[in-house]
Amino acid sequence: MITQVPLWQHFLFAAFATCGFAIFFNVQPKLLLWEALVGAIGWVVYLIGIDHYENPMIYSFLAAAVISLCSEILARKLKQPAILFVIPGILPLVPGVGLYQTVYLIMFKKYTLAASTGTKAVIVSMGIALGILVIASLSRVFNLYKLKKAFSRNDAAKYVDWVNLGKNRTGNKFVLNRDELNEHLNSLNIDTDSYKKLDLEKMEKNSSQDIILDDDTLKESE
């Protein structure tokens, strides 16, 4: 059985597999170690879940949630999109063997076994998707909480550290859309009129390594 192999071997081979997928997706070399670590941790959690739970939905959900959580943390530490760590990390969990066996059994008209194998593969896939969705949703809620907290303290510059309003990242440049900024603040019931022009200037002169550009400035430079 797969769980009879020592966990350290599973950890090592899962790390290599995740690293291979990351290279295939043209991930930056400096991130490969982190990619491998996320995938290996997720796979070990998956195996431990197999030993403790009979329902494949549970252990696939837990493994995907751990991968997504690690990805969100690394995304903030390394200033990279979380999906960059999520996609290679979950690939070892994808039930490719189960889907292959399902098609194989259907070809030989063993429909009962095919239905059982296919159902398990679908349940695992649903657990993976649900784990990613839950953590991503909680991460967004946390971002909005930090945003509201930063503005309640009149610390507008911290907004950039938690939410990328422009959603267009090229190199190390963020595009800041002031209309979208006001829209987000209004959705949080924050009075934007109380913040003076000085707050926006502080935001644009943020001391972080990222460069903040206003849409108008970006158009003028073009």
Q: DSSP labels for 160-220? A: HHH--SS---BTTEEEE-HHHHHHHHHHTT--GGGS-HHHHHHHHT-SSSSEEEEHHHHHH
163 and 207 in a single domain? The answer is yes
In the 8-state DSSP scheme, what is residue 25? T
Query: Would you state the pLDDT for residue 76?
Result: 85
Query: Would you state the pLDDT for residue 146?
Result: 72
126 and 30 in a single domain? The answer is yes
- Domain of residue 14: give its range: 2-150
Query: Would you state the pLDDT for residue 91?
Result: 93
Query: Would you state the pLDDT for residue 202?
Result: 55
**Cα gap 139→75, rounded to integer Å:** 11
139 and 161 in a single domain? The answer is no
Task: Count structural domains, the chain.
Answer: 2
Domain boundary among 110, 125, 150: 150
Q: How confident is the chain (222 residues) per 10-residue block, as mean pLDDT? A: 76 94 91 94 93 91 96 89 92 92 92 93 95 92 74 56 44 50 57 51 51 47 50
Residues 6+ apart with CB under 8 A from 46: 59, 60, 62, 63, 92, 93
Query: Would you state the pLDDT for residue 209?
Result: 42
Query: Would you state the pLDDT for residue 140?
Result: 84
Query: Would you state the pLDDT for residue 168?
Result: 39
126 and 180 in a single domain? The answer is no
90 and 193 in a single domain? The answer is no
Query: Would you state the pLDDT for residue 70?
Result: 95
Domain boundary among 98, 117, 150: 150
44 and 143 in a single domain? The answer is yes
50 and 109 in a single domain? The answer is yes
125 and 178 in a single domain? The answer is no
